[in-house]
Homo-oligomer: A and B are copies of this chain.
Amino acid sequence: MHPELLSELEALLGDRVTTSQAVRSHHGKDDSHHDPVPPDAVAFPLNTDEVAAVVRACARWRTPMIPFGAGTSIEGHVLAVRGGVTLDLSRMNRIVGVHIDDMDVTVEAGVTRMQLERHLKNSGLFFPVDPGADATLGGMAATGASGTTTVRYGTMRENVLSLRVVLADGRVVRTGGRARKTSAGYDLTQLLVGSEGTLGIITELTLRLHPVPEATLAAVCPFPTIDAAVRTVIGSIQAGVPVARAELLDTAAIDAVNTYSGLECMVAPTVFFEFHGSAAELVEHVASVREIASDLGVLAFNEATTLEARNRLWKARHDAYPALVALRPGCRGLTTDVCVPISRLAECIDQTLAEVRNASVPVGLVGHVGDGNFHLAFMIDPERPEELAEVEALNERLVRRAIAMEGTCTGEHGVGIGKMGFLELEHGEAVDVMRAVKRALDPENIMNPGKVVVL
C-alpha cells in the first residue's frame, strides 16, 4: 500500500490503524487450511462513518479492502490475496435496538452470535442461525451462514431483514426497512448476503427473531447405517414434523467427540435431534420420529431433556471439528461442504465415504441432514504436501458428484478462494452475470478482490 494512504488512515483513526506484524498475521488467516496472506495494514473503525472514510481513502488509492469479523470463515474469505487494508469490525459491537413487539433486532456488524444470545436472554426471543463458531453477525450475513437449525428456521438469508452497507466508493446505503416483507425494488439485501465482502462492507444488520419455544428436547439416535439415519430424518420432515435440528455424525466423528467431549455415545452413524414446541407437541413429534426411526432399525433413542444435557450435546457437536483434528496430533484440518437434493443425500454420502475411507489421511463426516448438506473434515500432516494434493483431489471429486446430483459446491461454507474453481461448473454462464454485478458495484475491483468471482 502507498505510504500516503497509511498516513491518511492514521489521520482518520490514530492508533486504530496498524501495520504491526502480529496484528497483520492474525488478520491474514481464518479457520481454514488455506495458507495465510496478511494484509498491509489493519484498521479498527468504530462506526459506519469511519468505515466509509476508510473506504473512500482506500478507493482513492485503488487499494483492496477486506472486511474481517471473528476470522472464523473456512474458505479463505479474509486472506489478503491482493494485499490492502483489512477492516476489523469487531469493535463495532453495539446492539442498536431490540424490538420485542416486532420480533427483530438491529446490531452493528461486529456483534457476535453469542453476544446477541446473552443480550436476548429473558426476552422470550432468540436468534436461531447457528453455524457453530462464535462468528460476528456481519460476517454471518456476508457469508450467508447457516448451520444446525436451518432445517427449521432458515439460513441468514431468511433471517436478515435489512443491511447498512458501505459501497466501494464510500457511499452508505440501507437495503431495506423493518417491514417483514417488501416488494419495493430489487432485493439488495439478498444480493449482499453471501457476497463475502466483494460488493460492499456490511456495517449494521436488522435480524428477525423468533419466540423461544415453550419446550425443547434433544435425542441421540444411533443407526445401523448412514442410509437409515438419513431416511429417518427425511421421512420425519416429509411427515410434517418441524424438526429443529437433525445432525448426522459418522462413526469417525462419534468416536472423536466421545474422546474429545467425554460423551459415551454408541459408535455408529448417529443423529442428534432437537425438537421445539409446546410440551404436548414434543410428545407428538418424538413419537412420530421414534416410529420412523424404529422402522429403519434405530439402535437406541436416548432423550436429553435437561438443559445441561442438551448443552453438553450441542457443545460436543460443535466441537466435532476440533475433536477430529485432535485425533492426529500436529495435523491441520481441511474441511469442505456440499449440499444436494435430500433424496440424493444418502447416496452422495455413501459414494463419498466409500472413496475417502481409502484415503491415506483420517476423515470424519458431519451433516445437516434436513438440508441435504454435509461436511468432511480431513486431517492432514502439514509436512506432507502429497496429503494435501490427495485431499484436494478427493474434494474435487466430491464437488463434481454433488453438482452432478443437481446440488451445489458449497451449502454454507461459501466460495472464498477455496470453491472459486467450481463456480463455472455449477453455474455455467450465470457466473458472467455475477461478474457483471461485481463490475457494476465495484468497478475498480477493490472490495475483497480475488474472491467469489475474478474480473
A: which residues have CB within 8 A of B? 99, 101-104, 124, 143-144, 146, 150, 154-155, 157-158, 167, 171-188, 190-191, 193-195, 199, 211-214, 234, 237-240, 242, 278, 280-281, 284, 339-343, 371-373, 402-403, 406-415, 419, 422-423, 426-434, 436-441, 452-453
Copies in the complex: 2
CA distance A434 to B441 in the complex (A): 10
Check if A179 sits within 8 Å of B372, measured CB to CB: yes
Cβ of A267 to closest chain B Cβ, rounded Å:
29
| Residues of chain B lying within 8 A (CB to CB) of residue A281 | 280-281, 284
| Residues of chain B lying within 8 A (CB to CB) of residue A99 | 341, 343
5 nearest CB pairs, A to B: A190-B190, A440-B440, A101-B343, A182-B408, A173-B430
Check if A343 sits within 8 Å of B102, measured CB to CB: yes
Check if B280 sits within 8 Å of A178, measured CB to CB: no
| Residues of chain B lying within 8 A (CB to CB) of residue A430 | 173-175, 188
| Residues of chain B lying within 8 A (CB to CB) of residue A409 | 184
* Apart from A157-B187, A188-B430, A213-B240, 17 more pairs, CB < 8 Å: A99-B341, A146-B181, A171-B429, A173-B432, A174-B428, A175-B427, A179-B339, A180-B339, A181-B412, A182-B339, A183-B414, A184-B408, A184-B410, A188-B434, A280-B280, A281-B284, A436-B441
- Residue on B with the closest CB to A234? B101
Give me 5 A-to-B residue pairs in the complex whose CB atoms sit less than 8 angstroms apart, sorted by A's number. A99-B343, A179-B341, A181-B373, A184-B410, A186-B191
CA distance A194 to B183 in the complex (A): 6
Check if A412 sits within 8 Å of B183, measured CB to CB: yes
CA distance A437 to B437 in the complex (A): 6
Q: Which of B157, B177, B422 contacts A406 (CB 8 A)?
A: B177
- Residue on B with the closest CB to A427? B185
Cβ of A166 to closest chain B Cβ, rounded Å:
12
CA distance A453 to B185 in the complex (A): 8
| Residues of chain B lying within 8 A (CB to CB) of residue A181 | 146, 150, 155, 157, 339, 371, 373, 408, 411-412
Contacts A144-B183, A158-B158: A178 and B341 contacting too (C-beta < 8 A)? yes
Contacts A174-B430, A343-B99: A185 and B452 contacting too (C-beta < 8 A)? yes
| Residues of chain B lying within 8 A (CB to CB) of residue A143 | 183
Q: Which of B172, B191, B239, B406 contacts A437 (CB 8 A)?
A: B191
- Residue on B with the closest CB to A182? B408
Q: Which of B176, B180, B284 contacts A371 (CB 8 A)?
A: B180
CA distance A371 to B103 in the complex (A): 11
Check if A104 sits within 8 Å of B187, measured CB to CB: no
| Residues of chain B lying within 8 A (CB to CB) of residue A453 | 185-186
| Residues of chain B lying within 8 A (CB to CB) of residue A104 | 341
Contacts A183-B414, A187-B157, A191-B437: A408 and B177 contacting too (C-beta < 8 A)? yes
